[in-house]
Chain A
Amino acid sequence: MDWGLLLTQLMNGLQLGLLLFLLASGLTLVFGIMDFINLSHGSFYMIGAYFCGSIVARGGSFLAAVLIALIGMFVVGAVIERVIARRLYRADHLDHVLATFGLILIFDAIVHIVWGPSGMAIPLPSVLDGQVTLGSLVLPTYRLVIISGGLLVAAILSMLVTRSRLGMMIRAGASNRTMVEALGVNIHKLFLVVFAIGATMSGFAGMLIAPITEASIGMGNDIIIIAFVVVIVGGIGSVKGAFYASILIGLIDTLGRSYLDDLLEIFMSLDYAETAAPALSAMLVYILMAVVLAFRPQGLFPPAGIRA
């Protein structure tokens, strides 16, 4: 077995997992507290990437671009909450699906109008573009940046949720919204802040990935579905659950794609294994979600007080 390859794949899985966490943590809070299904959460991922890219293209440094774009994302999130999402919290889930599906179309069209149909490459500063040697292992520097950035945000978020007053309200809101309202918390303000933080983190994930994949229209539409898988597997409304589920799903997906064919060869002929492996590895995370939903619908780490 090639241990170097395994380690690289583990790092890839961790990277995917942390990106998923950035998306899923906001999604799970909005889902858990406002009971709002936001399919267009992936659009924030795309918009973040385009914001960052256009600031870099105007000669800003990458770091400054990220910081400015983060503020931009907070504003975008707050506006969307105020203008559209707020009117929908009381509607049923079908309406959420439809309206946010419409929002996806709107965001994709706006990006198309403002930035054109082709993707936008974001050049990395040379400091981040190199490679780092750790013992016998050579890793791209930027990969480490993504992983440490993701871990940093996860740490800040967990501090925020577990130690701050805002976090207390957020946790209380995820467990029992009516009670929080009854205790006199300004629920509108809380919702606005939670939604905007979610949008900011989703945008941050987009900014991190864009230098690797480039920003493109619809880039959020595939990953948002996996982020939903994370939310369900982790337990709706649980940031801790979203963290563990993201890492789990990131690793399953990455390792499945690289090792499943070897594993299947133990049971079946080479031909069959090579046909079945890609299909099965793409399905693995959805199988996980179906199993979790069928046997433990409240998720692996549901927030306190939630029983499905």
Chain B
Amino acid sequence: MMAWLPSSNSGRCYCLLLVLLAVAPWIFQWADQPFLLDLLSRGLILAIAATSLNLIMGFGGMVSLGHAAFIGIGAYCVGIPAYYDFYNGWFHLGLTIVVSASFALLAGAVSLRTKGVYFIMITLAFSQMIYFTFVSLEEYGGDDGLVIYLRSEFPDFLTMQGPVALYYWIFATLLLTLFLVHRLIHAHFGRVIVGAKHNEQRLQSLGFDTYRYRLVCYVISGVICGLAGMLLGNFTGFISPEMMSWIRSGELIFMVVMGGSGFLFGPLLGTGAFVFLEQYLPEFMKFLNPSWLEYWHLPFGLLLVLLVLFGKGGIHGMLSKLDSRTRQSGP
């Protein structure tokens, strides 16, 4: 049995969701909606990043307000080689992994000495450092960012060229990420991480060096988020320091909490909701009154406040409540 799913019912739902995501390009091609494929690609990239944040925040209790820095690092690991007309995909991939792992190791080693509020603030500090570093790198566009003219080049059977091929790259990365996080959380390693969230002293007295476990967890999360950034750079073809501003990190937290923090599929659901709202809330406002188009942040912000005040557990929490209610009333 898949014990990590809240119940077999919703388990089937999430498997179905993944199958739907796998065939989505065909559906969109058939319906002649290339834009929807774009939207979905972006959503899945953000879902990878949010899943990586969920690993440290949802399972490990390490609330980071600086995770968008890794997205920026990954994106610039594509952008800067591309600036020198160097498009070797393996090189981009390797560089992303090495740079984001090193940054995560360095920032994590310092940040994890602190807890709670202090951890939130110090992760914010590190991401601001990275942000301002790229803002002041005039050579690579500074504030204005960089245009990436070509995608990372991989051998033919792994090519990223074309929207559908890139989509499958993103989808495969998401699957791998979900699988990895699932395995980690149910391995000995993950038990220590989750245990340390609930009672760190107890684990320490059992002889676990929780600091080391957390640091490894932080580095894994950083690398995954860096990969999301690498994909995002390839997807948008334009990167700028704005990708790693603290507002973006706040949005990542929102996606995780909205979907259901500490639940494997939570970030995927939350990101879906986020991308959907970001895309269709403005149009909905426009539908209400054409001059309201630009005011969509208002209902969005209200939704956030209401989510915190009343929506414990996010979408996943509401779904499982619904699920248990229908089963109770069923035969």
Q: In the complex, are the beta carbons of A106 and B301 less than 8 A apart?
A: yes
Provide the bound-state CA to CA distance between A95 and B309, in Å: 8
Q: In the complex, are the beta carbons of B132 and A109 less than 8 A apart?
A: no
Which of A87, A106, A286 has a CB less than 8 Å from the CB of B129? A286
- Contact pattern, A 261-297, Cβ under 8 Å of B = 1, otherwise 0: 0000000000000010011001100110110011001
| Count class of interface residues, chain A | 35 or more
B44-52, B112-120, B170-178, B218-226: which one contacts chain A?
B112-120
Given A97-B253, A105-B300, does the pair A293, B118 have CB atoms closer than 8 Å? Answer: yes
- Contact pattern, A 227-254, Cβ under 8 Å of B = 1, otherwise 0: 0110010001000000000000000000
Q: In the complex, are the beta carbons of A102 and B305 less than 8 A apart?
A: yes
Q: In the complex, are the beta carbons of B298 and A113 less than 8 A apart?
A: yes
A101 contacts the other chain (CB 8 A): yes
Which of A94, A103, A110 has a CB less than 8 Å from the CB of B253? A94
**Contacts of A293 on B, CB cut-off 8 Å?**
110, 113-114, 118, 121-122, 125
A88 contacts the other chain (CB 8 A): yes
Q: Is the interface of A mostly helix, strand, loop or mixed?
A: helix
Which of A108, A275, A287 has a CB less than 8 Å from the CB of B297? A108
Which of A39, A97, A110, A289 has a CB less than 8 Å from the CB of B298? A110
Provide the bound-state CA to CA distance between A93 and B257, in Å: 13
Which of B126, B257, B301 has a CB less than 8 Å from the CB of A286? B126
Given A283-B132, A290-B110, A294-B113, does the pair A232, B298 have CB atoms closer than 8 Å? Answer: no
B23 contacts the other chain (CB 8 A): no
Q: In the complex, are the beta carbons of A101 and B250 less than 8 A apart?
A: yes
Residues of B within 8 Å of A, CB-based: how many?
45
Given A97-B63, A97-B253, A98-B257, does the pair A289, B122 have CB atoms closer than 8 Å? Answer: yes
Provide the bound-state CA to CA distance between A228 and B117, in Å: 11
Q: Is the interface of B mostly helix, strand, loop or mixed?
A: helix
In B223-263, the 8 Å CB interface with A consists of 246-247, 250, 253-254, 257, 261
Provide the bound-state CA to CA distance between A55 and B257, in Å: 40
B304 contacts the other chain (CB 8 A): yes
Provide the bound-state CA to CA distance between A65 and B65, in Å: 37
A117 contacts the other chain (CB 8 A): yes
B139 shortest CB reach to chain A, Å:
8
B133 contacts the other chain (CB 8 A): yes
B158 contacts the other chain (CB 8 A): no
Q: In the complex, are the beta carbons of B120 and A297 less than 8 A apart?
A: no
Provide the bound-state CA to CA distance between A287 and B255, in Å: 29
- Contact pattern, A 85-128, Cβ under 8 Å of B = 1, otherwise 0: 00110010111011101111111111011000100000000000
**Contacts of A229 on B, CB cut-off 8 Å?**
121, 125
Provide the bound-state CA to CA distance between A230 and B3, in Å: 46
- Identify the A interface with B (CB < 8 A): 31, 37, 39, 84, 87-88, 91, 93-95, 97-99, 101-110, 112-113, 117, 221, 225, 228-229, 232, 236, 275, 278-279, 282-283, 286-287, 289-290, 293-294, 297, 308
Listed A/B pairs (29) with beta-carbon separation below 8 Å: A39-B250, A84-B309, A87-B309, A91-B308, A93-B120, A97-B120, A98-B304, A98-B307, A101-B304, A102-B308, A105-B304, A106-B302, A107-B301, A109-B296, A221-B247, A228-B121, A236-B117, A275-B137, A275-B138, A279-B135, A282-B136, A283-B129, A289-B125, A293-B110, A294-B114, A297-B113, A297-B114, A297-B118, A308-B118
